[in-house]
Amino acid sequence: MGKQINVSLIGNPNTGKTSVFNQLTGLNQQVGNYPGITVEKKEGICKLPRGLKAHILDLPGTYSLNASSLDENVVIELLLNKNDKDFPDVAVVVSDVENLKRNLLLFTQIKDLEIPTILVINMADRMERKGISLDIEVLEAKLNTKIALVSARKNTGIEELKEMILNYRQISTEPCLHASIMDPEYFGRLRKAFPNQSLYKLWLVITQDVNFANINRHALDSETGFHTKSNSDLKRLQQKETILRYQFINGLLKEGLKVDLNSATDLRIRFDRILTHRVWGYVIFFMILLLIFQAIYNWSSYPMDFIDSTFVSLSEWTKDMMPEGPFTNLISEGIIPGLGGIVIFIPQIAFLFFFISILEESGYMSRVVFLMDRIMRRFGLSGKSVVPLVSGTACAIPAVMAARNIENWKERLITILVVPFTTCSARLPVYLIIIALVIPDQSFLGFNLQGLTLMLLYLLGFGTAIASAWLLNKILKIKSKSYFVIEMPNYKLPMVKNVAINVVEKTKSFVLGAGKIILAISIILWVLASYGPGDTFNNAEEIVTSEYNEDTSESNLEEEIAAHKLKHSYIGIIGRGIEPAVTPLGYDWKIGIAIVSSFAAREVFVGTLATIYSVGSDEEETIKNRMAAEINPVLGGPLFTFASGISLLLFYAFAMQCMSTLAIVKRETNTWKWPILQLVIMSAFAYVVALIAFQVLK
């Protein structure tokens, strides 16, 4: 008991496993990927009684140990490999009180692996309303385990669960059902061939396509003389196993679970009739989106204004308090404005994740997926494609990873290719600053025009993804057939703790991920903007002074000197080199530089302009004000007009401005062919649309 206890949380999707994980670990958790694969790995530390700690690993949701996806393979491979550093000392299977029959299939399989296994029956607070009563003693005796009756929502039963984890050695490892009874002769030969191995572990290795180093099912015949069955016979045995397990579970629940329907009240059916209605369902979803984007704009305006002015003041304070020199300029004109360009959007990004978390926690997001499946099928996609498309509103990278749950390769490939069109949170800073510059802060029929514009951009991205999927479905001649199945979880009030953890973790991940890139690029850009070749840059003061008369004010002269230096700096030379390509879109060389640098990450666009506009500027102005004051060098007048603003918004709506997404697409498709096609086609499409928009609107 001296070492840290390894605990694996296992369960079907929608059993509240994440809620239990959050209750056990709080904010002592981190998210990464399993080595070598793109499956999310959530782990955390739980403080147990007597000062001990448990390492909690939240495994991907799985319905059984009969793997059909990469997620389920991860679960099986861990449970089969005792040499894995995360191999559990105790497995905690999380079930839902309303779906015990289905959940217990997975529990009985894990018990057969002879791992100490605790059964958590979650959502206990719903038992009275559903007319459910349990005989825990009977269930524990029949299942050879300890049962924790838990309500993650009301934080009840968690301390009892911690005690069970602490005393895991006292839990029986005896299976509650021996799978060998389905074919005693076959399993007898298997035991004789491998006398030192767990029998059910051998069965899983034979029937599953898993990576397990100690036993190679293809080498069974040659090494031991054991003759394995054909694939069709193995499938029949698997089906027999499932039937036997459900027979055992049915008998168990007859004794241990009672349901009194007379005392149960369930409004789910009534709600589903409205929320998944073929007309009203879409209207309600549209109205919810509209309210979300209105709230994002209205609620976040105050903290954003405060952050904006704070960074301006911080930059000025740094200039005043530190000695003059390149290092001070780097901090005040490069690092602080660059970071300010991303920090200012924390309130809006946090609100976006807040609303998405509420929709997921309440059970409504599953209804959206079901609702949108009707549309998906018309465009050659599975309903499962909606999950990556919806999650793409947060970030395209995990959205591309989420497509691995789509078994059909054609549908999976199309989903991966079109996901980047959905508006991710990295586009949000670009949209927000441009919308604020070119769309009036006025109301139409009670709705803010800026909020309406933002929502239209989200709908445009989603619509383009769907249209692209239809086109790809026609172009890619791959024959396929698939079925869409989704579970409708119960409606429930979102848990404050779950929503808070999700908002904090997602926002922190976004800011830290973007912050590293922006900090590095801000430093590089500041160097390129602060230095230049030859006398034209070095003698800027003399050149500008000689061109102005004595009546010119000192402040105007300093502005002209700064502008001259910027124009002839390294970044100015590069920018003017690419200016002919961006001028037809209504942009100047500064926007061109921002577009090129934002290929690292879309949100870098704002940080880049913040750095460029701050170089050499002494005025206490926000980035937005400086951008608003920019003059179009070709047409005259403001640079950011309605025409150039819409052009820029459309460019970022369609362009593949994210090298991380390209890298993950390469990893998921195992070739550079598709990400390169994505980059070329999306960028070309974005350029043409932006060009047409500017030329028409100007």
Residue 364 has pLDDT above 70, yes or no: yes
Instruction: Please check whether residues 446 and 517 belong to one and the same domain.
Output: no
Closest to 614 measured CA to CA, from 268, 336, 343: 336
Cβ neighbors of 486 (< 8 A, separation 6 or more) are 366, 369, 370, 373, 383, 384
Where is the domain boundary, 234, 264, 294?
Answer: 264
Is there a single domain that holds both residue 469 and residue 523?
Answer: no
pLDDT of residue 36: 44
CATH number for 49: 3.40.50.300
The full length of the chain comes to 698
DSSP 3-state assignment of 330? helix
Domain range spanning residue 447?
280-429+442-475
Is residue 376 within 8 A of residue 383, CB to CB? The reply is yes
Residues 540 and 410 occupy one common structural domain: no
What pLDDT, on a 0 to 100 scale, did the predictor assign at position 684? 94
Choice among 17-26, 555-564, 680-689 with the minimum mean pLDDT: 555-564
The answer for residues whose C-beta is within 8 angstroms of residue 237's C-beta and 6 or more apart is 182, 183, 186, 207, 229
**Confidence check: pLDDT of 72 > 90:** no
Q: 141-181 pLDDT, tens per residue?
A: 999 999 999 987 788 889 999 999 999 999 999 888 887 88
Q: Provide the pLDDT confidence category of residue 550 given band limits of 50, 70 and 90.
A: low
pLDDT surpasses 60 at 383: yes
Residue 117 confidence (pLDDT):
94
- Mean pLDDT over 505-530 rounds to 72
**Pair (553, 470) in one structural domain:** no
Are 79 and 220 contained in the same domain?
Answer: yes
Are 145 and 188 members of one domain? yes
**Torsions phi, psi of 119, nearest 5?**
-100, 120
H-only helix segments in 531-672 = 534-538, 540-547, 554-567, 570-582, 589-597, 604-614, 623-628, 642-654, 659-669
> Within 10 Å of residue 134's Cβ, how many Cβ atoms?
18
Residue 485 lies in a domain: no
Tell me: do 256 and 207 sit in the same domain.
yes
Read off the pLDDT of residues 105-123 as tens digits, 9 standing for 90 and up: 999 999 989 899 999 998 8
Task: With a cut of 50, say whether residue 213 has pLDDT above it.
Answer: no
- DSSP assignment of 40-85: EEEEEEEEPGGG-EEEEEEPPP-S-SS--SHHHHHHHHHHH-TTST
Q: What per-residue confidence (pLDDT) applies to 487? A: 60
Are 595 and 650 in a shared domain? Answer: yes
Domain-located, residue 488: no
What pLDDT does residue 1 have?
Answer: 46
Q: Would residue 569 count as lying in a domain?
A: yes
Residue type, 505: E
Both 671 and 546 in one domain: the answer is yes
Residue 210: pLDDT above 70?
no
Same domain, 294 and 197: no
CB proximity list for 80: less than 8 A, separation 6 or greater: 113, 201, 204, 205, 210, 212
The pTM assigned to this predicted structure is: 0.54
Share of the chain above pLDDT 70, in %: 81
Residues 470 and 557 occupy one common structural domain: no
User: Which residues fall within 8 angstroms of residue 24, CB to CB, at 6 or more apart?
Assistant: 44, 46, 54, 56, 158, 161, 162
146: tokens are 């300890």
Looking at the fold, whether 126 and 29 belong to one and the same domain comes out as yes
Kindly tell me if the per-residue pLDDT of 588 is higher than 90. Answer: no
Number of domains in the chain: 3
Q: What is the pLDDT of residues 6-36, one digit of tens each?
A: 999 999 887 888 889 988 888 666 655 444 4
Asked, for residue 482, whether it belongs to a domain, the answer is no
Report whether pLDDT(372) > 80: no
Q: Is residue 434 part of a domain?
A: no
> What average pLDDT does the segment 388-401 reach?
71
Whether residue 423 is contained in a domain is answered as: yes
Which residue would you say has higher pLDDT here, 212 or 186? Answer: 186
**Of 203, 233, 264, the domain-final residue:** 264
Using only C-alpha atoms, the chain has a radius of gyration, in whole angstroms, of 30
- Is 506 within a domain? yes
490-514 confidence digits (pLDDT tens): 777 888 888 888 788 777 766 776 5
Q: Quick check: is 435 in a domain?
A: no
**Could you tell me which of 314, 360, 369, 354 has the C-alpha nearest to residue 337?**
314
Which of 203, 234, 264 is the endpoint of a domain?
264
For the chain, what is the mean pLDDT?
80
